[in-house]
Structure 1
């Protein structure tokens, strides 16, 4: 019974933390830019073109250089991606997304280290922060790093 009460209290604290994140400046800025991005017809068309092109790209990836349209599709996907990345609304959205990800990384690191210094929290996407044990890849040293 005591374990159940502790779990419920932990879930309540996690819910409060989630609400605090949703009230942060980073989250608000992200939501505003997300809404503006989806309302921008030019950006929507670029996103649609890129998603459509990804299907061809995935088909090419299965066969690699042996695919008959490899060079053509690889050039097209790079051009489409570059065009998407250069759109002002997309660039601003990505900046806000990166800022929000930074906040989430900071929170996850604080939670992890409050439990134990040995717990590694995700940082910058999925890369693990090095706590002095080598590269921090988590492969157990098979890559040649000095895993502790």
Structure 2
């Protein structure tokens, strides 16, 4: 016979799961890389400069390719984005953030499928999303559902 959990048991189990996540290697790596990034003056300056460029790009974007500075500003934004992506503290943080996100996505998928295989859990990962889609998502079959 199937045992139905009480609200108290569900809350207790949820808190236990949350504690397990907070003790995970992925979470500790995320916290340490985030702290290192926040303390990195160069990264802070690069992010500030990138945000200024993004604002400039948004202003130019209103007119699109017809704006006289469109090509130049677009190039500056792409170059700065690449510079950010290659800067080690930022790259390490992004990698740790992605690993934590993957852990949370896997947990969400396990919990959802414990309830029903028909529950859709958008994870941003095509592998997990294809496992999650039980059909009828409205994407016209492009997600691979039936």
Return the TM-score normalized by structure 2: 0.81
Aligned to 2:10: 10
After superposition, residues 58-69 of structure 1 pair within 5 angstroms as 58-69=58-69
Contact 2:34/2:93, CA 8 A, preserved across alignment: yes
Q: Which residue of 2 aligns with 1:36?
A: 36
Match of 1:99 in 2: 99
Residue matched to 1:56: 56
Q: CA RMSD in A?
A: 2.9
Structure 2 residue runs without a partner (length 5+) = none
Q: Which residue of 2 aligns with 1:138?
A: 137
Measured in 2, the distance between the counterparts of 1:69 and 1:38 equals 32
- Confirm or deny that 1:47 pairs with 2:47: yes
Give the SS at the match of 1:122: coil
CA distance 1:21–1:137, shift in 2 (3 Å): farther
Mapped contact 1:113–1:119 kept (Cα < 8 A):
yes
Tell me by how many angstroms 1:123 deviates: 2.3
SS of equivalent to 2:130: coil
Confirm or deny: 8 A CA contact 1:84 1:90 kept in the other structure: yes
Preserved contact between residue 101 and residue 125 of structure 1 (Cα < 8 Å): no
What's the CA shift for 1:61?
A: 2.7
Distance 2:144 2:125 in 1: 22
Residue equivalent to 2:70: 70
Check whether the contact 2:119–2:133 (CA below 8 A) recurs between aligned residues.
no
* 1:120–1:128 Cα contact (<8 Å) kept: no
**Pair 128,7 (structure 1): closer, same or farther in 2 beyond 3 Å:** same
Task: Determine the C-alpha separation between the residues in 1 that align with 2:57 and 2:132.
Answer: 39
Task: Provide the aligned length of Structure 1 versus Structure 2.
Answer: 142
Q: Which moved more, 1:24-33 or 1:14-23?
A: 14-23
Residue 118 of structure 1 corresponds to 118
TM-score normalized with structure 1 length: 0.80
